[in-house]
Amino acid sequence: MILFCETSALVKLYILEDSSREMQALADAATAIAVCRIAWAELMAALARRVREVPSDTEAIELVRQRLRTDWPRYAIVEVTQALVELAGEYADTFALRGFDSVQLAAARTLQDMAGEEVRFACFDTRLGNAARVLGMPGLA
């Protein structure tokens, strides 16, 4: 099973939050972890926000950034292409998704079409998770 991590799920592999243990168990069971290229920017933005809001976490967040830099080359990266963003535009309309959510879903669907094994879609947004299930990708929401 390939675990596709939307940013809300990916962050749980780096910062202890509700459902972090569940995400780690899924990651441990996966043959590969996949992400969309935009997850880097989304996760770095979330970490920067955390530092702004909780300055005492600065040191811990820097360790998380270092871990992400180390882990990133191990992830299967789905690139953002014109075809992918066109599919994302369709998903934004069909499933009433926000822009980057539709890009994440299109990335996972593109991976699903290319993969020779099950793709599980990990996210913590109900609408996005429901859309993934409609497209045949079980996961979290």
**Strand 32-36 relative to strand 2-5, pairing:** parallel
Q: What is the pLDDT of residues 114-132, one digit of tens each?
A: 998 999 999 999 999 999 9
Q: Read off the pTM.
A: 0.94
Question: Distance between CA atoms of 73 and 28, rounded to whole angstroms?
Answer: 17
Q: What is the pLDDT of residues 43-94, one digit of tens each?
A: 999 999 999 999 999 999 999 999 999 999 999 999 999 999 999 999 999 9
What are the respective helix, strand and coil percentages of the chain, to the nearest 5?
65, 15, 25
- Asked if the 2-140 domain carries CATH number 3.60.15.10, the reply is no
Residue 47 DSSP class: H
Contacts of 29 (CB under 8 A, 6+ apart): 1, 3
Whether the per-residue pLDDT at 22 is higher than 50: the answer is yes
Residue 124 confidence (pLDDT):
95
Quickly state the pLDDT bin for 141 (edges 50, 70, 90): very low
Mean pLDDT computed over every residue of the chain: 96
